[in-house]
Amino acid sequence: MTTLEIRDVSVIYKKLAAVSHISLHVSKGEIIGFIGADGAGKSSLIHAIAGVIQFEGEILYSGHSYHSPQEAEAIKPIMGLMPQGIGLVLYDTLSVMEHLEFFADLRGLTKDEKFYAYRKKLLHMSGLSDFTDRLAGNLSGGMMQKLSLICTLLHRPKLLILDEPTTGVDPLSRLELWEILDNIRKEEGTIIIVSTAYMQEAAKMDRIFLFDEGNIIAQGTSRALLNSIASYTYIATQDTTKNAITFDKRTYSLENLNAEHTQPTLEGLFFINALKNNKTLAPVTIEQRQTEKNIPEIVMQAKGISKYFGSFVANDHINMTLKRGEILGLLGANGAGKTTFIKMLLGLYKIDDGELKLLGKSIKSAQDRMTLKGKIGYVSQHFALYNDMTVKENLIYFANMHKIPLQTAMQRINTYAKELGFDKHMNDLPKELPLGVNQRFSIAAALLHEPVVLFLDEPTSGVDTLARAQFWQILHKLKEKWGISILITTHYMSEAEYCDKVVLLKRGKKIADDTVENLYKNNPNAKTFEDIFLAYFKAES
């Protein structure tokens, strides 16, 4: 029987153990998942198994033993690796079909009837059959990931290794990716190893391995792991000790609380592990700021806004409002028009039709926006940080862009560093830090000029559970203490719960616009917001 064995494997970087003496066993046709915080060791073990980095210990696959990348070469023909990052293995100027031809040639595949039949099947499973002539650069993020996956599957690998394949991918595309994986493992008997930041996906795996500081600290089926933390999980309550964490309508505590227990989620594993290691969420202590006067009740109002790229309609007559002190979640599948909409608000894209008001001012020209520039903060989907500058140097640079006097800038930088919990990293380079820390000082950079409205485009994509929990604490403190208005896009459906209102976009059109409470009332069978999201999208199909 085909198996994969990991025997006492360690990965060392600069005398630091990224992975420490890990052993595990995987059987034919099994899907196992690696979950854990940023820097916990998931990717390091994945790269060791894939034979692309040096490691200590032994790995055996189907009777072949290897101790190094050189020895792993023997099984590379039957192995598939999809690295982390949307479209990382794709070329913008090649079409979908050209990619499949390229990867077939790269693998030296014989193009016979079986090959063409299998390629047709992969295109059908991925929903790309009607897009074979489209360039990769014109695909949505979800379509890019599905193309990356079928390119990785083209040579029928028996060992498939996927490093966070769905990060930044919408729930609908994630569901389709998992249908492909389930089909492949059943039909081909493929062993599949997946790391993920989405806990809903972990429930689809046969076994889950929880990583922390290079070690596996928990493993088992989804049900077994949930049962292991059930006694620590309560309905969110104010009756807590200092050794408790509240997130996602639940309070996690190692001590008995005067509250009802509730159904745990897999995200709770991270919180319980943190508590057992005497860790809690870094406190957010944003100071009260005097609310700026003359801010209108409606901060942003879009009436019939549209954007066209040739014959393609990216945004189709969208109406939307953002109120003062409100958090508005903008959700939708990859390619639904979320980022395009935000770029029109910012003036990065011209508005082709409709009307826009920001902070009570009708926006008709670039000059109109320039007068409001000091009141708007923005964190893009891929926030631009300079990797050869320290965190402190980056923030000083952004302060200079806003022409903030150096003394004032340094006061704000030091205050935000302490309040947002990255003061220990001021002299570090961004590339040396986890995504969660980079995310915090990206927020600080957007706040330096003290805006009254924030536009955030998928700021938590790829960020681990603990860091996301802390991030949302920050947003709610900003709303509470500063009265700031926030428009945020996200693919984590649990984050919709923390918004005052949610707008759903599909193919450039608005299909829902309501409070979270009302959306649940309209979908009484929904247990999670992901259920609501999928219900609206399937109803509109």
Mean pLDDT within 48-75: 95
Tell me the CA end-to-end span of the chain in Å, nearest whole number. Answer: 43
The residue among 460 and 289 whose pLDDT is bigger is: 460
Mean pLDDT within 71-93: 90
C-beta neighbour count of 401 within 10 angstroms: 11
The residue among 301 and 364 whose pLDDT is bigger is: 301
Q: Is 41 inside a domain boundary? A: yes
Same domain, yes or no, for 31 and 174? yes
Query: Per-residue pLDDT for 420 more than 80?
Result: no
Q: Is 305 inside a domain boundary? A: no
> What would you measure as the largest C-alpha separation in the chain, in angstroms?
72
Give tens-digit pLDDT for 227-242: 999 999 999 887 766 6
Expressed as residue numbers, the domain containing 463 is: 327-334+374-539
Provide the mean pLDDT of the chain.
88
Distance (Å, whole) CA 102 – CA 109? 10
pLDDT-derived band at 497, boundaries 50, 70, 90: confident
Same domain, yes or no, for 203 and 226? no
Same domain, yes or no, for 494 and 401? yes
In this prediction, residue 122 carries a pLDDT of 92
In this prediction, residue 302 carries a pLDDT of 95
In this prediction, residue 379 carries a pLDDT of 85
Q: Is 103 inside a domain boundary? A: yes
What's the DSSP call for residue 516? Answer: H
Q: What are the backbone angles phi and psi of residue 184, rounded to the nearest 5°?
A: -65, -45
CATH code (residue 108): 3.40.50.300
Mean pLDDT within 316-327: 95
Tokens 């918004």 locate to 499
Q: Is 409 inside a domain boundary? A: yes
Q: Is 247 inside a domain boundary? A: yes
- Closest-CA residue to 248 (of 200, 207, 178): 200
Tokens 């991030």 locate to 471
Q: How many domains does the chain have?
A: 3
- Closest-CA residue to 240 (of 223, 219, 225, 258): 258
Distance (Å, whole) CA 242 – CA 279? 10
Give tens-digit pLDDT for 136-188: 988 877 788 889 999 999 999 999 999 988 876 777 778 888 888 999 999 88
Mean pLDDT within 366-381: 80
In this prediction, residue 32 carries a pLDDT of 96
In this prediction, residue 27 carries a pLDDT of 94
Same domain, yes or no, for 200 and 67? yes
Find the radius of gyration of the CA atoms of the chain: 24
SS3 67: coil
Same domain, yes or no, for 397 and 267? no
Same domain, yes or no, for 231 and 378? no
Give tens-digit pLDDT for 11-24: 998 778 889 999 99
- Closest-CA residue to 519 (of 507, 533, 508, 505): 533
Distance (Å, whole) CA 458 – CA 444? 16
In this prediction, residue 423 carries a pLDDT of 86
- Closest-CA residue to 439 (of 484, 373, 405, 490): 490
Mean pLDDT within 116-141: 89
Tokens 């069978």 locate to 525
SS3 294: coil
Query: Per-residue pLDDT for 540 more than 60?
Result: no
Q: Is 59 inside a domain boundary? A: yes
- Closest-CA residue to 252 (of 236, 464, 199): 236
Strands 207-212 and 31-36: parallel
Same domain, yes or no, for 452 and 515? yes
Determine contact, residues 99/154, Cβ cutoff 8 Å: no
* Encoded amino acid at 30, one letter: E
Distance (Å, whole) CA 119 – CA 103? 11
DSSP bridge partners of 24: 6
In this prediction, residue 384 carries a pLDDT of 66
Same domain, yes or no, for 379 and 247? no
